């Protein structure tokens, strides 16, 4: 739910929270990993915190071969707390959920239950129509690659009003995906995919993944939640990854998420039900996200043909150019980002209600790094945050290759 991060811009001040940085016993046991040390990670994470405004709580984890783990953290468990940031906090991964959804769709494609070339009209007759839409010209691949041109429901003025002006009254909103799709389709498309395939235009839309999940549910004969649980969470043993659905509460150690409201009074955003759908509804931890992305890049979730399709990209324009100076591309629920040392890494950001997750994995699947940033009162400049996290990720993955 990338656009929701804008909520943190509303009415913020800058009161510094207490900062802590530490390495636990396990991290100290493996203080270096292929040229990137715990001290390097602390340095890079401090730069991330500074880029995010300094008034955030941050945690980072690098998982490498042979059980090597590096960890770093700064901040507390939330406003008013003296406890440090949990080492492996649960958080709503927001748009990183799209990678989970894309994997499920690609698994169904590998099993012959659907094709990426199937049209939306074939699976959801009459759903994408009117106001200039034609579901027979939009494919499953378009949904996963953000090339459909379908309006993003998050940008609807009514939804924006709920988020920005009436959050407390609507924090338990659990509008069904079908209604959110219908809401999006009241707006004209950004563009219509040309018949005959590429070249495709790109525009990020959360609505695409609601539709992709609706198709997966038909093809997979199960709900989106069950498909993710049975096809990804259980096989990988992701014990701290779950889909709460309409339940607004996190069950494990986590941070309180706050922003300054009117008069500087903190508004707590931690409990909410907005993020309950296939574009944003997964809860996870840095360690589980590292496991998930390493399994994906290591070939444990998709056959080679579908993994190759997932990495076929079109240009995106919503993130800064990475340190390599070469732009990345958007695949099927996955970003492919060039490294300064050559090669690429794979990632998908997640920006939610004051929570920013940045998981990434090297192309060989050997090392993964996840950074989680949680707002307290500070204004988060997403461009600066993304640049700092890209630098940390580049350092962690390139140093390990030296």
Q: Is the dihedral of CA 140, 143, 145, 150 positive or negative?
A: positive
- What percentage of the chain reaches a pLDDT higher than 90? 82
Per-residue confidence (pLDDT) for residue 33, from 0 to 100:
55
Q: Does the structure show a pLDDT above 70 at 27?
A: no
Per-residue confidence (pLDDT) for residue 263, from 0 to 100:
80
Report the largest interatomic distance among the alpha carbons of the chain, rounded to a whole angstrom.
Answer: 60
Segment 150-162 mean pLDDT: 96
Q: What is d(CA 337, CA 321) in angstroms, rounded to the nearest whole number?
A: 9
Q: How far is CA 201 from CA 105, 115, 119, in A?
A: 21, 21, 17
Per-residue confidence (pLDDT) for residue 198, from 0 to 100:
66
- Work out the angle at residue 243's Cα, subtended by the Cα atoms of residues 242 and 246, and round it to the nearest 5 degrees: 145
Q: State yes or no: cis peptide before 199, omega within 30 of 0.
A: yes
CA proximity to 385, closest of 112, 103, 25, 51: 51
Q: What is d(CA 2, CA 155) in angstroms, rounded to the nearest whole number?
A: 11
Structure-block tokens of residue 155: 């940008």
The torsion region of residue 381 among left (phi > 0), alpha (psi -120 to 50) and beta comes to beta
For residue range 81-117, what is the model confidence (pLDDT) as tens digits?
A: 999 999 999 999 999 999 999 999 999 999 999 999 9
Q: Does the structure show a pLDDT above 90 at 48?
A: yes
Q: How confident is the model at residue 249 (pLDDT cuts 50, 70, 90)?
A: very high
Dihedral angle over CA of 42, 43, 48, 49, nearest 10: 70
Rounded to a whole number of angstroms, the CA Rg of the chain reads 20
Per-residue confidence (pLDDT) for residue 378, from 0 to 100:
59
20-29, 226-235, 326-335 — which is least confidently predicted?
20-29
Q: Does the structure show a pLDDT above 60 at 330?
A: yes
pTM of the predicted protein model: 0.92
Per-residue confidence (pLDDT) for residue 164, from 0 to 100:
84
Could you give the count of Cα atoms lying within 13 Å of 41 in the half-sphere of its Cβ?
32
CA proximity to 228, closest of 285, 277, 158, 286: 277
CA proximity to 371, closest of 35, 42, 10: 42
For residue range 278-306, what is the model confidence (pLDDT) as tens digits?
A: 999 999 999 999 999 999 999 999 999 99
For residue range 180-219, what is the model confidence (pLDDT) as tens digits?
A: 999 999 999 999 998 776 678 999 999 999 999 999 999 9
Q: Which residue has the tokens 């940008």?
A: 155
Q: What is d(CA 255, CA 253) in angstroms, rounded to the nearest whole number?
A: 7
Q: What is d(CA 181, CA 195) in angstroms, rounded to the nearest whole number?
A: 23
Q: How confident is the model at residue 401 (pLDDT cuts 50, 70, 90)?
A: low
Per-residue confidence (pLDDT) for residue 40, from 0 to 100:
97
Q: Are strands 56-63 and 69-74 parallel, antiparallel or unpaired?
A: antiparallel
Q: How confident is the model at residue 34 (pLDDT cuts 50, 70, 90)?
A: low
Q: Does the structure show a pLDDT above 50 at 4?
A: no
Structure-block tokens of residue 100: 């989970």
Catalogue all structural domains in the chain, each as residue range(s) with its CATH number: 2-399 (3.40.710.10)
- Count of residues for the chain? 402
């Amino acid at each position: 739910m990338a656009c929701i991060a804008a909520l943190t811009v509303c009415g913020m001040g800058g009161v510094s929270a207490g900062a802590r940085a530490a390495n636990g016993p396990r991290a100290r046991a493996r203080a270096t990993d292929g040229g990137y040390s715990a001290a390097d990670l602390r340095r890079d994470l401090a730069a991330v915190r500074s880029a995010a405004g300094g008034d955030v709580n941050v945690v980072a984890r690098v998982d490498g071969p042979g059980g090597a783990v590096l960890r770093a953290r700064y901040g507390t468990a939330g406003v008013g707390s003296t406890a440090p940031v949990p080492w492996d906090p649960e958080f709503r991964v927001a748009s990183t959920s799209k990678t989970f959804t894309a994997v499920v769709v690609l698994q169904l494609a590998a099993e012959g239950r659907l094709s990426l070339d199937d049209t939306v009209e074939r699976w959801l007759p009459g759903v994408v129509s009117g106001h200039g839409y034609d579901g027979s010209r939009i494919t499953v691949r378009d949904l996963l690659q953000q090339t459909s041109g379908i309006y993003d429901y998050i940008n609807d003025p009514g939804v924006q009003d709920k988020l920005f002006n009436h959050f407390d009254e609507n924090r338990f909103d659990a509008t069904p995906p079908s209604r959110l799709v219908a809401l999006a389709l009241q707006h004209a498309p950004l563009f219509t995919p040309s018949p005959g395939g590429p070249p495709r235009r790109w525009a990020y839309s959360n609505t695409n993944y609601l539709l992709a999940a609706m198709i997966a549910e038909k093809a997979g004969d199960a709900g989106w939640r069950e498909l993710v649980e049975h096809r990804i969470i259980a096989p990988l043993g992701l014990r701290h990854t779950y889909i709460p659905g309409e339940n607004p509460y996190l069950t494990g150690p986590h941070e309180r998420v706050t922003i300054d409201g009117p008069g500087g009074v903190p508004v707590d955003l931690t409990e909410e039900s907005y993020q309950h759908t296939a574009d944003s509804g997964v809860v996870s931890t840095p360690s589980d996200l590292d496991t998930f992305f390493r399994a994906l890049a290591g070939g444990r979730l998709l056959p080679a043909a579908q993994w190759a399709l997932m990495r076929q990209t079109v240009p995106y324009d919503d993130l800064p150019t990475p340190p390599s100076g070469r732009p990345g591309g958007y695949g099927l629920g996955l970003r492919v980002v060039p490294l300064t040392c050559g090669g690429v890494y794979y990632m998908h950001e997640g920006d939610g209600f004051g929570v920013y997750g940045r998981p990434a994995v090297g192309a060989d699947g050997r090392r993964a790094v996840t950074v989680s940033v949680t707002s307290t009162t500070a204004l988060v400049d997403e461009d600066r945050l993304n640049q700092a996290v890209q630098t940390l990720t580049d350092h962690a993955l390139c140093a390990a290759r030296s």
